[in-house]
Amino acid sequence: MATAGGVCEAVRGSQGLLRLLSLCVLLAGLCRGNSVERKIYIPLNKTAPCVRLLNATHQIGCQSSISGDTGVIHVVEKEEDLQWVLTDGPNPPYMVLLEGKLFNRTIMEKLKGRTGRIAGLAVSLAKPRPPAGFSPSVPCPNDGFGVYSSSYGAEFAHCKDLPWNPLGDGLAYEDFHFPIFLLEDENETNVIKQCYRDHNLSPNGSAPAFPLCAMQLFSHMHAVISTVTCMRRSSIQSTFSINPEIVCDPLSDYNVWSMLKPINTSGTLEPDDRVVVAATRLDSRSFFWNVAPGAESAVASFVTQLAAAEALQKAPDVSALPRNVMFVFFQGETFDYIGSSRMVYDMEKGKFPVKLENIDSFVELGQVALRTSLELWLHTDPMSQKNESIRNQVEDLLTTLESSAAGVPAVLLRKLNQSQPLPPSSLQRFLRAHNISGVVLADHSAAFHNRYYQSVYDTAENINVSYPERLSPEEDLNFVTDTAEALAHVATVLGRALYQLAGGSTFINTIQADPQTVTRLLYGFLVRANNSWFQSIIRQDLRSYLGDGPLQHYIAVSSPTNTTYVVQYALANLTGMVINLTREQCQDPSKVPNENKDLYDYSWVQGPLNSNETDRLPRCVRSTARLARALSPAFELRQWSSTEYSTWTESRWKDIRARIFLIASKELEVSWGEEGGRGLFNLFLLPLVSYLLPSPKQQKPPGFCPWSASMSHQKAFFTDSLSCMFILDLCSHETQGVTPYSVDPR
């Protein structure tokens, strides 16, 4: 009323009305401005959502409603705390802050069964890790897309007698109809708990008084049902719409590969050219989007292979070896062998320089960081060995590996019973297409040693990578850990075996993997990507790919991913050669005599720091390291319901965010809604009525004030005054209904 009275004194005819309307607009802007929102909400900036993934038959993952889901926070630290959320609590729906140790299938099934009382979940990281292990993957990874089926090794299909991942509870392959977020920052978790303790706890289990601490999660997904449905909708949009709305994208990236001896990539090898393949995977996953540390499931093996490639490249006679060696790092293997199935497809179609017929033997690194008693197990396929020729080749392959390990006492290779199938591996996709001799090296003889397979806890800690206290980041980078030493021994065995398989013998004992290389790679991928060595080996425009934490190894849909680029440049720098070219020549070597882009790839990298450590010394690296598309053939063929190839897609979304605030009672919200409705009527409809109704044409006397004028003169101003007062009232009620909450950052 004071505002209206103050304006009343200033109103003089039409100018006064304009001033009043301007004031109303100003008040509305102030009320709805971002500054008010910042005072009301505390954003949670370090979170990771569970998102929706789809395949040929169904959808998995999580999502919120289109406007986000809101609930009163309840902290669940032990299973008994669920009683309040599921039955006793008087203010549903609840947003559950779940301790990481309780995030398992049993608890989640209870919450999933009461969706009417559950608005969503925020999961904190368990510290320490769950000692019994935790794997949200399935017991039989990639089931149905490997080599074993009803027509080939039926006794081994579906992991009948040997579940490789017995701790897998399949949680990451369930579909949840409420949002689930991971809280990655302990400080933010503590802020939420403090808000909960201040507002949501009451003595003697009675109902807490309002206002209550609440959380809102936004993670609405655009795709539904299956890949078939979402790809069809996207395809129709792309065909008939100028601005198509794509609802999902195929999971895709690039495989990284290189040759020991350069080959012409513009053609294909001759039939009698023989190639030894050394393979491993690049990717992992967890329940949460782009949180995929994959220390044991991926990183340890591809780091070992990088070190082996470096060691082998240093052998003096590599150019004279009768057989070539191809190093390949497959992307998307977690999702039904995306990378390996695509390479096999390209080899079959003549779209890759190497054909299946050129493969002499296949050596794959599985999980290798958790060895017990120095043992490394040799897994082979019993079905292909029913062919006598293949059986003899496999026996020769195993003999070569055993002789290579003879000079490395820290590694003991062990053969397995021939009645045991291959573990989940890229080799299975090659055997599905062509009979070849192959072996998978792994630290487990049967079930995985990895108790945190494809989980947020498969971190550096899981493979015992740790550093002494008080070391600087640069000292950590170069500190050779016990794990690095152990993996360097495995890399030495692999390098020597590949040398012998390629036909070498003279310099076998000179092949020695460098523990310094291994420790730098482990530090960069698992601890801190933004380090001096990684900076020196990549292009300048890729610097932003190196964050202050570890890299994540989820394949995603935007490619190449950080991991792919860094592995490509690590491989190039470890196996390539620094050559004397300018930046312009390096970026376009076709104009340089004796340089050939069909044989080599050229990279202008940042290089090391100079002696003053102020500027870098950029250089040109020539190597055979290249990228090859890792997109499932199902999408090339538009066979979205394929059972032969991976069909995994990721839903698109508009908004992913989380925030907390204080929420008023339902009664106050209803009251606000009624008054808001009357205010909106006054704001929009009454001015319109006033405009349409005729009013007497008479001169306003000097000093005119609408409060003392006749009703016919009051109409226009009075309705606008109500509108203005409604805006002020709206501000007042908004701050009553949703109250700012803050915690001293100290």
What is the C-alpha to C-alpha distance for residues 246 and 234, in angstroms, rounded to an integer? 5
- Residue 674 has what pLDDT? 56
For residue 197, pLDDT over 50 is answered with yes
Q: Are 494 and 363 in contact (CB under 8 A)?
A: yes
DSSP 209-262: PSSEEEEEEE--BS--S-HHHHHHHHHHHHHH-SS----EEE-EEEEEEEESS-
| Amino acid at the residue 707 | W
Q: Which of 505-509, 575-579, 690-694 has the lowest mean pLDDT?
A: 690-694
Closest-CA residue to 123 (of 192, 71, 65): 192
- For the chain, the straight-line distance linking the first and the last C-alpha, in angstroms and rounded, comes to 42
Q: How far is CA 536 from CA 323, 376, 531, 565, in A?
A: 32, 34, 9, 13
Within a 10 A sphere around the Cβ of 584, how many other Cβ atoms?
A: 11
What's the pTM value of the predicted model, to 2 decimals?
A: 0.86
For residue 183, pLDDT over 70 is answered with yes
What is the C-alpha to C-alpha distance for residues 80 and 59, in angstroms, rounded to an integer? 31
The residue behind tokens 């992913």 is: 656
Domain 254-576+624-631 has CATH 3.40.630: yes
- Residue 340 has what pLDDT? 99
Q: Are 558 and 570 in contact (CB under 8 A)?
A: no
- Residue 676 has what pLDDT? 54
Domain ranges of the chain: 2-32+665-739, 42-229+656-663, 254-576+624-631
Confidence band, pLDDT 50/70/90 cuts, at residue 685:
low
Residues 6+ apart with CB under 8 A from 573: 537, 605, 621, 623
For residue 327, pLDDT over 60 is answered with yes
What is the C-alpha to C-alpha distance for residues 232 and 438, in angstroms, rounded to an integer? 39
What is the C-alpha to C-alpha distance for residues 121 and 127, in angstroms, rounded to an integer? 18
What is the C-alpha to C-alpha distance for residues 471 and 674, in angstroms, rounded to an integer? 63
**Using one digit for the tens of pLDDT, what is the confidence trace for 208-226?**
899 999 999 999 999 999 9
Confidence band, pLDDT 50/70/90 cuts, at residue 712:
very low
What is the C-alpha to C-alpha distance for residues 599 and 596, in angstroms, rounded to an integer? 5
Share of the chain above pLDDT 70, in %: 84
**Using one digit for the tens of pLDDT, what is the confidence trace for 66-83?**
999 999 999 999 999 999
- Strands 359-365, 438-442: pairing kind: parallel
For residue 181, pLDDT over 80 is answered with yes
**Using one digit for the tens of pLDDT, what is the confidence trace for 266-304?**
999 999 999 999 999 999 999 999 999 999 999 999 999
For residue 709, pLDDT over 70 is answered with no
